[in-house]
């Protein structure tokens, strides 16, 4: 009886909060890869890298606007040429440099990561919305990579860093949101997704995906880069 009455002085909503707290941290799957520190630490690291790349690309965009013939530090050869990519219409889809979007989005992600590392628990709707919005950003990043590879005919090293970094951030965010059922998925889909994350298949999928992307780019540009070098 004492076990059932030890918190009898607390109200019903407080009891619900206690259960939520357990669900949020104490009931996480075992393993460091699922911990709050690892997931949000990874998110913070790659958001910072993406922000740095976005800042450099933003500065370069201003230089290109001032002088279309400028030679940038990351214009290494005809294949790895930031200036060529930055001068294309694909780099200004919305009428301003795409990199400005990174300057807006990544500080938000960094704030989420830092606050979460400090123990803040954001509402379910907020985390779910953030995941959807960031997914659109990842799709946009890969669209730009496709355009660079098959239309522009050059790659931008800083853009590649943005693409890889946003991929890691998205996977980290999805990892956490699936574990905590923040994506409003149907029950069966949520159960399947939870199993995928807990068993490590999400991280394995990330490694396989990036390996395939690297391999495709290497097949496309490898011989040309060697000749240019």
What is the DSSP-derived secondary structure letter of residue 10?
S
What are the tens digits of pLDDT across the range 123-152? 999 999 999 999 999 999 999 999 999 999
pLDDT confidence of residue 14: 44
Task: Tell me, yes or no, whether 125 lies in a domain.
Answer: yes
Among 20-29, 98-107, 161-170, 217-226, the least confident range: 20-29
- 112 Cβ neighbours under 8 A, 6+ residues apart: 40, 43, 122, 130
Count of other CB atoms within 10 angstroms of residue 52: 16
Dihedral over alpha carbons 95, 159, 175, 134 (to 10 degrees): 0
SS3 (DSSP) at 78: coil
Domain that holds residue 69: 31-221
Decide if 128 contacts 183 (C-beta within 8 A). yes
pLDDT confidence of residue 228: 62
Task: Tell me, yes or no, whether 23 lies in a domain.
Answer: no
Q: How many domains does the chain have?
A: 1
Q: What is the mean pLDDT of residues 55-76?
A: 92
Q: Cα–Cα–Cα angle for 170, 182, 27, nearest 5°?
A: 100
Among 11-15, 56-60, 202-206, the least confident range: 11-15
Task: Tell me, yes or no, whether 1 lies in a domain.
Answer: no
Task: Tell me, yes or no, whether 18 lies in a domain.
Answer: no
Task: Tell me, yes or no, whether 74 lies in a domain.
Answer: yes
Task: Tell me, yes or no, whether 70 lies in a domain.
Answer: yes
- pTM of this prediction? 0.85
Task: Tell me, yes or no, whether 6 lies in a domain.
Answer: no
User: Between 172 and 30, where is the model more confident?
Assistant: 172
CATH number at residue 104: 1.20.1440.130
Task: Tell me, yes or no, whether 16 lies in a domain.
Answer: no
What is the DSSP-derived secondary structure letter of residue 90?
G
What are the tens digits of pLDDT across the range 14-26? 444 444 444 466 6
pLDDT confidence of residue 170: 98
- 92 Cβ neighbours under 8 A, 6+ residues apart: 98
């Amino acid at each position: 009886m004492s076990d059932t009455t030890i918190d009898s002085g607390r109200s019903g909503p407080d009891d619900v909060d206690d259960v939520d707290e357990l669900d949020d941290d104490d009931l996480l799957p075992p393993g460091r890869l699922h911990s709050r520190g690892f997931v949000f630490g990874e998110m913070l690291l790659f958001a910072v890298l993406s922000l740095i790349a976005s800042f450099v690309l933003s500065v370069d965009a201003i230089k290109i606007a001032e002088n279309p013939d400028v030679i940038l530090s990351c214009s290494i050869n005809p294949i790895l040429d930031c200036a060529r990519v930055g001068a294309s219409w694909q780099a200004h889809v919305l009428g301003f440099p795409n990199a400005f979007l990174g300057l807006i989005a990544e500080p938000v992600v960094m704030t989420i990561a830092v606050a979460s590392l400090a123990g803040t628990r954001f509402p379910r709707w907020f985390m779910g919305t953030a995941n959807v919005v960031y997914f659109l950003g990842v799709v946009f990043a890969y669209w730009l990579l496709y355009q660079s590879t098959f239309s522009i005919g050059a790659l931008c090293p800083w853009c590649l860093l943005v693409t890889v970094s946003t991929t890691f951030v998205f996977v980290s965010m999805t990892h956490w949101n699936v574990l905590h059922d923040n994506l409003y998925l149907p029950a069966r889909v949520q159960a399947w997704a939870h199993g995928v994350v807990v068993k490590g298949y999400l991280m394995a999928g990330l490694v396989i995906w990036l390996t395939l992307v690297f391999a495709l780019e290497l097949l496309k540009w490898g011989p040309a880069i060697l000749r240019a070098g």
